[in-house]
Amino acid sequence: MIKRLVPGKRLSQAAIHGNTVYLAGQVPNDYTGSIEAQTTEVLAKIDALLKEAGTDKTRMLSVTVWLPSMGDFAKFNTVWDSWVPQDNTPARACVEARLADPSIKVEIAVIAAIS
C-alpha cells in the first residue's frame, strides 16, 4: 500500500511505502529571504512532513540538497548543522543546480524510516 501526503496535480509532498517515507524536494514559500532564512523555512517544512508521516529527523536515511550557488554552501551548512541531530546524521549529497525559480536558494529532498 502507498499513502500520499498533500497530493497535488504534479506531485505529492510525500509518499509512504512500507516503513519508508519519501519527501518531494522542498523549497521555501518565501523566495525573498537569505540562504539562511530559506534553509530554516525548508527544514521546518521537512519537520512538519516527517511528523505527519509518523517519523522525525532522527530517522532520516538520505538527504539530497540542491543549491544554485556553491558559494552558499558554508551558510547552508551553518543552519543545517544546528538542525540535524549530530548522533543521527543521514547520508547526504549536495549539488549545485539551477532551480525552478532563480530566487530559490535551496531545495531539499529526504528519505526517512518510519518506526
Q: What is the sign of the dihedral through the CA atoms of 24, 30, 32 and 36?
A: negative
Sequence-distant (≥ 6) Cβ neighbours of residue 55 within 8 angstroms:
21, 112, 113, 114, 115
Could you report the per-residue pLDDT of 4-16, keeping only the tens digit for each?
999 999 999 999 9
- Model's pTM, two decimal places? 0.97
Secondary structure class of 38 (helix, strand, coil): helix
Could you report the per-residue pLDDT of 40-73, keeping only the tens digit for each?
999 999 999 999 999 999 999 999 999 999 999 9
CB atoms within 10 A of CB 77: 14
| pLDDT at position 115 | 79
Distance CA 30, CA 103 (A): 9
Q: What are phi and psi of 16, to 5 degrees?
A: -115, 130
2-113 folds as 60s Ribosomal Protein L30; Chain: A; (3.30.1330)
Mean pLDDT of the 75-79 span = 98
* Confidence check: pLDDT of 113 > 90: yes
**Angstrom distances, CA of residue 24 to CA of 33, 86, 87:** 21, 23, 24
| Among candidate residues 52, 61, 55, the one with its CA nearest the CA of residue 114 | 55
Average pLDDT along the chain: 97
Q: What is the DSSP letter of 26?
A: B
